[in-house]
Amino acid sequence: MKKSLLTFYFCVSLILISCGKDYLEEPRPSGTVNSALVFQSKEGAESLMSGILRLSRLTYDNSDTSGLYAMFFARVVKGNDLVLGNSWYVFDYENDNREPSYRRTIFSWEFPYTIINQINIFVDGVSNSNTLSETEKQALLGQAYALRAFYYFQLAMEFQHTYSFDPSLPAPPIYQEPANEGKPMSNLTALYSFILEDLGYAIQYTPSNRINKSYVDRSVAYAILAKVHQVMGNWEEAATAANIARGEYALNANEYNQGFDDMSAEEWIWAMPQQIDQSTYFNIAPHSFTDNQSEGYGLAFWNREFVALFSETDVRNTFINRFNEEDEDQYNTWTSSKFKFDFTSDIPIIRSVEMLLIAAEAKARLGDEIEAANLLFELQSNRDPNAVASGNSGEALIEEILVERRKELYGEMGVEWFDAKRLRRGITRTGNHRVKSAANLLPDDKKFYLKIPQKEIDANDFIDNSVNTNR
């Protein structure tokens, strides 16, 4: 992490865009702006934020280490529901990709911190501006803090056990301002407290309006907060935040079979847009990897046992048997049309249905089983005209909600891995997987998190090789 401020500010110049009227249409760099001038106006600061947002789909290294979607898809392939061919993400699929020198480990550390560094420069510049009004500062900082909280949350999920395992365990360092030297490891208690502090400010000051869904607004801040409280087991807070986040985003079953490639979709709260002149091309995940009808990679298939969870009338049943009901044991039998790949395919980050299911789980765990079942049926009846309201209670109701999360969010954000980690469960490979028991994950398995990159250890005077002892 030893990088000079000069390096950081050079990066700023690279991601800035021109300050004409068109700059707000999308986060699309078209020039450079002197870093000393960018914070003299709201327009200049917003242009920098556009550039920072674009970093979320940065082509970092390779097809499997390329943007936020690569981090999400690496989680997807670690579960039981998706079956992967022998190509990109293969080491993630085998649950054998966590050593300090590995590409996954380095990317999962450096990618979030790259964005956090830029956010800290943004925060410093906005806070110290002599020309921005206080109201303008608050709105800009609210968006920055929400984004910073989101990426620290990703670091927390990737580099340590889940919060409930032991919050005193070491966690990635916390940088609140531009830094030219490394900092010591934090712990999960401090890191989650910092995340909640950032989100508290974001919820108070982030505007409710935005240019499009690639930008952060108050709904996005509440959605991130709901996910954080879900991991922490703060169920009242999770339910409240989730219900606020999904408030303006109605369910729309008709959108489910339209390819999940357009951020204007009614259910999408937050998204990464793709334009032909900014596209990450074949790196786009999950689209390029799960769409077997396109010119993408088409390397991902689906476990026959997962496919069997869906009724024939469920709109989410997008699965196709490539061998006409034969060869059920072949790993590459079942494909899906959920995601349509094109160089301009937008990518969902958070959808309202995830918020509905967070609220349902929270209500069930709080003992309000009637409300939990009602929320669950609100979703099920929207997706399947033949759906029947749940008659389950207790743990059976919670399990039904967790299965519904898998059925709804498959391929998007690694929900199966995410839930197994936060709930301290294992993942057992069954069905027609290409790699089976060798990739099983036990409850609280160390393979749920990555080791600290050797590059960071070598560069940071406050972290030594002992950090990976017993990891």
Number of domains in the chain: 1
pLDDT of residue 278: 67
pLDDT of residue 275: 79
Give the tens place of pLDDT for each residue, 368-382.
999 999 999 999 999
Whether residue 23 is contained in a domain is answered as yes
User: What CATH number is associated with residue 86?
Assistant: 1.25.40.390
Mean pLDDT of all residues in 408-430: 98
Query: Is the pLDDT at 3 greater than 60, yes or no?
Result: no
Query: Is the pLDDT at 6 greater than 50, yes or no?
Result: no
pLDDT of residue 295: 83
pLDDT of residue 180: 84
Query: Is the pLDDT at 29 greater than 60, yes or no?
Result: no
Query: Is the pLDDT at 265 greater than 50, yes or no?
Result: yes
Band (282; pLDDT cuts 50, 70, 90)? confident
In angstroms, the CA 242 to CA 185 distance is 31
In angstroms, the CA 388 to CA 400 distance is 12
Q: Using H for helix, E for strand and C for coil, what is the string for 56-122?
A: HHCCCCCCCCCCHHHHHHHHHCCCCCEEECCCCCHHHHCCCCCCCCCHHHHHHHHHHHHHHHHHHHH
Upper half-sphere CA count for residue 38 (Cβ side, 13 Å):
28
Tell me which residue range forms the domain holding 204: 5-224+415-468
Band (30; pLDDT cuts 50, 70, 90)? very low
Whether residue 130 is contained in a domain is answered as yes
Give the tens place of pLDDT for each residue, 392-404.
999 999 999 999 9
Mean pLDDT of all residues in 165-176: 98
pLDDT of residue 34: 60
Q: What is the pTM of this model?
A: 0.94
Give the tens place of pLDDT for each residue, 103-152.
999 999 999 999 999 999 999 999 999 999 999 999 999 999 999 999 99
Q: Which residues have CB under 8 Å from 150's CB, separation 6+?
A: 224
pLDDT of residue 289: 93
Query: Is the pLDDT at 301 greater than 50, yes or no?
Result: yes
Q: Residue 237, Cβ neighbours under 10 Å: how many?
A: 17
Mean pLDDT of all residues in 55-62: 82
DSSP state letter for 452: P
- For the ranges 19-23, 92-96, 260-264, the lowest mean pLDDT is seen at 19-23
Mean pLDDT of all residues in 45-71: 90
Residue 460: both structure tokens together: 């940071």
pLDDT of residue 426: 96
Query: Is the pLDDT at 1 greater than 50, yes or no?
Result: no
Give the tens place of pLDDT for each residue, 227-236.
999 999 999 9
pLDDT of residue 102: 97
Whether residue 348 is contained in a domain is answered as no
Hunting for tokens 């993942």 — which residue is that?
427
Query: Is the pLDDT at 12 greater than 90, yes or no?
Result: no
pLDDT of residue 62: 85
Whether residue 404 is contained in a domain is answered as no
pLDDT of residue 329: 82
Query: Is the pLDDT at 18 greater than 50, yes or no?
Result: no
Whether residue 120 is contained in a domain is answered as yes
Whether residue 371 is contained in a domain is answered as no
Residue 164 main-chain phi, psi, to 5 deg: -70, -15
Give the tens place of pLDDT for each residue, 431-459.
999 999 999 999 999 999 999 999 999 99
Q: Are 459 and 2 in contact (CB under 8 A)?
A: yes
Band (31; pLDDT cuts 50, 70, 90)? very low
Whether residue 96 is contained in a domain is answered as yes
CA–chain centroid gap for 90, Å, is 20
Q: Which residues have CB under 8 Å from 210's CB, separation 6+?
A: 216, 217
Whether residue 359 is contained in a domain is answered as no
- Percentage of the chain beyond pLDDT 70 is 91
